[in-house]
């Protein structure tokens, strides 16, 4: 099946009891045993398994083309589960440009816990090769990256890592399986903040880990999911499945709108630089075209005049909303350096945009007015 069909049908079945086309929400926390102590329907307690979560996991597994999926209560919980499946003393390669929450987890939680971490420019394959160590167990990729939209060569990094016996994980939140399928480039584990594009309406918190093969590493992640209990509520799983049904069409519209805004910003006299892989000026434009179907709905740009001017532009918008997060139908604008804190390496004149589904001419007019 093509991905548009999978988004609607994978993991979802007509309810056998009522014939309902849309599966019901199963809010029960516990499930009845048979007289002999067995569980005829396969469910024991909602922390370890729930029909709505199982349907969501089957859908995510199908969309990414994996062998197993585990849903979590947030993207950060999903990320933590991957790192928790490692052991103290293991070494991780992580990107220098990535979601600041991931870097925070590594620095503040997992390095004190015993992981060894090297932050590397993963767009430089020579740097990746040089940073691999005998105890390296995981390379963590984020592409496109947050907030500079760097593009990592998935096949190149994976080849280097696998040659050294190292597993590769990719945060695919910004691209989604509609625009990029990391397993096709050899990646072992895919992670999503399902809060973002998969939910698509800024009303759900969630995360997921999908594994290319059902191996021992994924078994550990599944055990962490059940024992730790950082699982999504049944209603959130139901809402996520509803959002996924329109995901292929939303992602195309997000990308089309972002492409138009990127071209507008690149030609604006008040803009120093636009970070968007759909532009010919992007240093990895050709790579993005090769491994992504479309360049996505996220972009960032640097403004002439520094931090003060960036804040003034963000204050001047009327259609965009000044808010954190991304991937919803509404367009958002954010000054990332102030959000990321004093350790940030994000330029102080940079604004990050999550391009929504409004008419692109209205979004362009709004930015044009704010820049003026």
User: Count of CB atoms within 10 A of residue 309's CB?
Assistant: 16
DSSP 239-254: HHHHHHTTHHHHHHHH
Locate 188 and state its tokens: 């072992």
171 is catalytic: yes
In the residue annotation, 47 being an active-site residue is answered as yes
**SS3 state at 351:** strand
Residue of 153, 171, 188, 236 with catalytic role? 171
Catalytically annotated residue among 53, 150, 181, 196: 196
Point out the catalytic residue in the list 53, 97, 99, 222.
99
Active site residue 99: yes
User: Residues 26-63, buried b or exposed e (16+ Cβ, 10 A)?
Assistant: beeeebeeeeeeeeeeebeebbebbbbbbbbbbbbbbb
Check if 196 is active-site.
yes
Helix 51-64 vs helix 234-244: angle between axes, to the nearest 10 degrees? 30
Q: 50-54 long-range contacts, Cβ below 8 Å, gap at least 24?
A: 50/26, 50/231, 50/234, 50/237, 51/23, 51/26, 51/234, 52/23, 52/25, 52/26, 52/234, 52/235, 52/237, 52/238, 52/241, 53/231, 53/232, 53/234, 53/237, 54/11
Sign of CA dihedral 219, 223, 226, 228: negative
Annotated catalytic residues are: 47, 99, 171, 196
């Amino acid at each position: 099946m093509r991905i548009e069909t999978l988004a609607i049908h994978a993991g979802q079945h007509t309810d056998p009891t009522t014939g309902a086309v849309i599966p019901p929400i199963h809010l029960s926390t516990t499930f009845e045993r048979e007289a002999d102590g067995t569980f005829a329907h396969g469910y024991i307690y909602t922390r370890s398994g729930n029909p709505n979560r199982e349907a969501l996991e089957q859908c995510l597994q199908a969309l990414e083309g994996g062998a197993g999926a585990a849903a979590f209560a947030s993207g950060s919980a999903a990320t933590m589960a991957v790192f928790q499946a490692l052991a103290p003393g293991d070494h991780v390669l992580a990107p220098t440009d990535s979601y600041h929450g991931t870097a925070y987890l590594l620095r503040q939680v997992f390095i004190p816990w015993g992981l060894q971490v090297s932050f590397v420019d993963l767009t430089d394959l020579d740097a990746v090769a040089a940073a691999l160590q005998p105890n390296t167990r995981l390379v963590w990729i984020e592409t496109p990256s947050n907030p500079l939209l760097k593009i990592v060569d998935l096949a190149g990094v994976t080849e280097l890592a696998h040659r050294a016996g190292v597993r590769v994980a990719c945060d695919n939140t910004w691209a989604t399986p509609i625009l990029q399928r990391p397993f096709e480039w050899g990646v072992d584990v895919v992670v999503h903040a399902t809060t973002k594009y998969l939910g698509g309406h800024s009303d759900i918190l969630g995360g997921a880990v999908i594994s290319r093969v059902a191996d021992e590493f994924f078994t550990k992640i599944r055990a962490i999911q059940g024992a730790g209990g950082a699982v999504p509520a049944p209603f959130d799983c139901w809402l996520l499945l509803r959002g996924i049904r329109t995901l292929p069409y939303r992602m195309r519209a997000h990308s089309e709108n972002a492409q138009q805004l990127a071209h507008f910003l690149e030609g604006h006299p008040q803009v120093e630089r636009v970070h968007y892989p759909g532009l010919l000026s992007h240093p990895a434009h050709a790579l993005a075209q090769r491994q992504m179907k479309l360049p996505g709905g996220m972009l960032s740009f640097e403004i002439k005049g520094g931090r003060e001017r960036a804040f003034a532009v963000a204050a001047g918008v009327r259609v965009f909303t000044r808010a954190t997060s991304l991937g919803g139908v509404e367009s958002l604008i954010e000054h990332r350096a102030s959000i990321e804190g004093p350790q940030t390496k994000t330029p102080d004149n940079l604004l990050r945009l999550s391009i929504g589904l409004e008419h692109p001419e209205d979004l362009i007019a709004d930015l044009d007015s704010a820049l003026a």
